[in-house]
């Protein structure tokens, strides 16, 4: 099943059962779901099979970063498991990204392949400590351009970077943004947040939303409220 919704609900749970319990409260016609490192490490591909069986398209958020051949093989494995989207770290370099792209194309698999630029948890000082003396935003732009030139379909970015990346990489280039807080929700530990509407207006193409939906008493009612905010 495919959906026109930009919403991707983060299933950040420590077990298959807990993740499926939430998935069973959501509608695959109105959102996609994201499986991250904790859930996948605990449950393995079973969780993907179970979510696909329920009709969901899945973003497998494992952020691969390794030598080109290893990353390409991992990306291909994810695509063969039928995921809708998978990601790598752009800082792994052009050859790493190109090799993954080529391997997917050769297999004829249409999985969306996107790259993380700079983790949004990183501060300017932390970036400098890794040896990158550039301004953080300039580094994000450089890595996004590199990702595009290396055949990536888009990037994971902060909604605050979406407008700049729309300029740099175009409207079609996917901008998948976490740190989204609907006007009814608490910020939690997220700092630099945007509402769904603000993020879409800034140029985000997909919105990753976790706790505002998964910790709501009625997750579908929360999804409804987000859809209403987007439609306003
Ligand atoms: O619950 P919340 O909406 O904050 O969840 C956001 C999701 O997006 C989590 O899965 C989190 O790991 C992920 N994420 C993030 N910030 C990033 C990258 C990913 O919050 N920079």
In-domain check, residue 138 = yes
In-domain check, residue 118 = yes
In-domain check, residue 1 = no
Residues at the binding site for substrate are: 12, 34, 61-70, 120, 181, 190, 210-211
pLDDT in tens, 120-163: 888 999 999 999 999 999 999 999 999 999 999 999 999 999 99
Specify the pLDDT at position 186: 81
What band does 73 get if pLDDT is binned at 50, 70 and 90?
very high
In-domain check, residue 123 = yes
CATH number assigned to the domain comprising residue 93: 3.20.20.70
User: Which residues form the domain of 214?
Assistant: 7-231
| Per-residue 3-state assignment (H helix, E strand, C coil) for 152-201 | CCEEECCHHHHHHHHHHHCCCCEEEECCECCCCCCCCCCCCCECHHHHHH
Q: Give residue ranges with CB within 6 A of ligand 1.
A: 10, 12, 36, 119-121, 178-179, 188, 190, 208-211
Here the tokens at position 171 are 């409207």
- The rounded mean pLDDT for the chain is 96
| C-alpha–C-alpha distance, residues 112 and 79, integer Å | 9
Min mean pLDDT across 74-88, 106-120, 128-142, 175-189 is at 175-189
Residues at the binding site are: 12, 34, 61-70, 120, 181, 190, 210-211
| C-alpha–C-alpha distance, residues 202 and 159, integer Å | 7
In-domain check, residue 50 = yes
In-domain check, residue 182 = yes
Question: Count of domains in the chain?
Answer: 1
Residue 190, pLDDT above cutoff 80: no
Q: How far is the centre of ligand 1, averaged over its atoms, from the C-alpha of 58 (Å)? A: 15
In-domain check, residue 36 = yes
């Amino acid at each position: 099943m495919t959906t026109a919704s930009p919403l991707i609900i983060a299933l950040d749970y420590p077990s298959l059962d807990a993740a499926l319990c939430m998935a069973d409260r959501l509608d695959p016609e109105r959102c996609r779901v994201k499986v991250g490192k904790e859930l996948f490490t605990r449950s393995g591909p079973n969780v993907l099979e179970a979510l696909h069986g329920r009709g969901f398209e899945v973003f497998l958020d494992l952020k691969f970063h390794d030598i080109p051949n290893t990353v390409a093989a991992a990306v291909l494995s994810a695509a063969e498991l039928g995921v809708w989207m998978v990601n790598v770290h752009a800082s792994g370099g052009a050859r790493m990204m190109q090799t993954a792209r080529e391997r997917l194309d050769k297999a004829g698999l249409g999985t969306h392949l996107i790259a993380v630029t700079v983790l949004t948890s990183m501060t300017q000082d932390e970036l400098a400590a890794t040896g990158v003396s550039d301004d953080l935003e300039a580094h994000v732009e450089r890595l996004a351009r590199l990702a595009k030139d290396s055949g990536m379909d888009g990037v994971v970015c902060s909604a605050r970077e979406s407008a700049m990346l729309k300029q740099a990489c175009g409207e079609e280039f996917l901008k998948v943004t976490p740190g989204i807080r609907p006007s009814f929700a608490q910020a939690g530990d997220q700092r630099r947040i945007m509402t769904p509407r603000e993020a879409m207006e800034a140029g985000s193409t997909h919105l990753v939303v976790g706790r505002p939906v998964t910790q709501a008493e009625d997750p579908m009612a929360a999804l409804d409220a987000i859809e209403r905010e987007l439609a306003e």
